[in-house]
């Protein structure tokens, strides 16, 4: 019964507001948020603060609820904010080991209440993208990544200016996808601490290395 008290308090507040006058949209949002927070608890690595949205997620969520895409000015502002959060490779090396990148891309492990602190997270890339030709099951929320480097000319001219630009973009996209698409569904892997700098480097290699199964 003790666990029900917070819920009862929030529901009582909602009923009181409802009896006096119909609550405004901000009041409903606040009460809904309070009830939502009461439904969760800190457990292991998972903390209640995950429910707190930053400005980017708040604006994109509001647009989604309204069923209207962001206007060009708002989208550009969000992209600029997120672009400025990108941390470029500290040693200047954008490309790591594609074999390690493949392991990361095919792993969905991490950030759950059963995980241990310090345990490496996976990129969960397979859940939204096709990665290699021989895959028989993959997500389609995002575009296929098969032949990513080949289609962009990196395989034929790995040291050319176009290749450098694409590799730089690839790093930035993995680090913070919202820097290039304001309300992208893609996780901000580096920005949100899902992947480390070394892991991002390996995932970039998976996409651009000529020997990677992505480019076969």
pLDDT at 210: 94
DSSP at 46? B
pLDDT above 50 for 4: no
The region, left, alpha or beta by phi > 0 then psi within -120 to 50, assigned to residue 44 is left
- Residue 116: which pLDDT band, with cuts at 50, 70 and 90? confident
Decide which of 198 and 35 is more confident: 198
Give me the domain span that covers residue 12: 1-39
Q: Are residues 154 and 53 in the same domain?
A: yes
Q: Are residues 129 and 189 in the same domain?
A: yes
| Mean predicted confidence (pLDDT) in 28-53 | 78
- Residue 15: which pLDDT band, with cuts at 50, 70 and 90? low
pLDDT at 152: 93
- Residue 2: which pLDDT band, with cuts at 50, 70 and 90? very low
Q: Are residues 17 and 47 in the same domain?
A: no
Q: Are residues 20 and 5 in the same domain?
A: yes
**Which of 192, 201, 183, 194 lies closest to 76 in space, CA to CA?**
183
Q: In sequence order, what are the residues at sequence separation of 6 or more whose Cβ sits closer than 8 angstroms to the Cβ of residue 111? A: 45, 46, 121, 194
As a whole number of angstroms, the distance between CA 165 and CA 172 comes to 11
| Mean predicted confidence (pLDDT) in 10-26 | 61
Q: Which CA distances in Å does 216 have to 31, 145, 148, 168, 193? A: 53, 12, 10, 22, 31
Output the pTM of the full model.
0.81
CATH number of 213's domain: 1.10.760.10
pLDDT above 70 for 81: yes
Q: Which CA distances in Å does 200 have to 17, 133, 172? A: 49, 22, 9
Q: Are residues 74 and 31 in the same domain?
A: no
Taking only the tens place, the pLDDT of each residue in 178-198 is 999 999 999 999 999 999 999
**Which of 54, 178, 190, 185 lies closest to 123 in space, CA to CA?**
190
- Residue 10: which pLDDT band, with cuts at 50, 70 and 90? low
pLDDT at 117: 85
Torsion over CA: 214, 140, 173, 152 (sign): positive
Overall number of domains in the chain: 2
| Mean predicted confidence (pLDDT) in 62-76 | 93
- Residue 50: which pLDDT band, with cuts at 50, 70 and 90? confident
Give me the chain's average pLDDT, please.
88
Taking only the tens place, the pLDDT of each residue in 130-147 is 999 998 889 999 999 999
Q: Are residues 99 and 170 in the same domain?
A: yes
Q: Are residues 54 and 118 in the same domain?
A: yes
């Amino acid at each position: 019964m003790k666990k029900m008290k917070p819920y009862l308090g929030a529901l009582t507040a909602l009923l009181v507001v409802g009896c006096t006058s119909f609550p405004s949209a901000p009041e409903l949002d606040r009460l809904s948020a309070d009830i939502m927070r009461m439904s969760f608890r800190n457990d292991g690595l998972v903390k209640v603060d995950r429910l707190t949205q930053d400005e980017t997620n708040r604006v994109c969520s509001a647009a989604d609820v309204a069923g209207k895409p962001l206007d060009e000015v708002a989208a550009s502002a969000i992209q600029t904010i997120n672009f400025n959060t990108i941390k470029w490779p500290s040693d200047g090396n954008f490309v790591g080991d594609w074999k390690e990148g493949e392991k990361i891309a095919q792993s969905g492990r991490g950030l759950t209440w059963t995980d241990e602190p310090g345990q490496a997270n996976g990129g969960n890339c397979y859940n939204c993208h096709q990665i290699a030709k021989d895959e028989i099951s993959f997500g389609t929320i995002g575009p296929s990544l098969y032949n990513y480097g080949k289609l962009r000319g990196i395989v034929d001219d790995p040291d050319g200016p176009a290749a450098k630009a694409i590799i730089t973009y690839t790093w930035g996209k993995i680090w913070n996808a919202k820097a290039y698409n304001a309300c992208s569904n893609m996780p901000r892997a580096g920005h949100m601490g899902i992947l480390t700098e070394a892991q991002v480097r390996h995932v970039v290699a998976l996409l651009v290395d000529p020997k990677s199964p992505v480019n076969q």
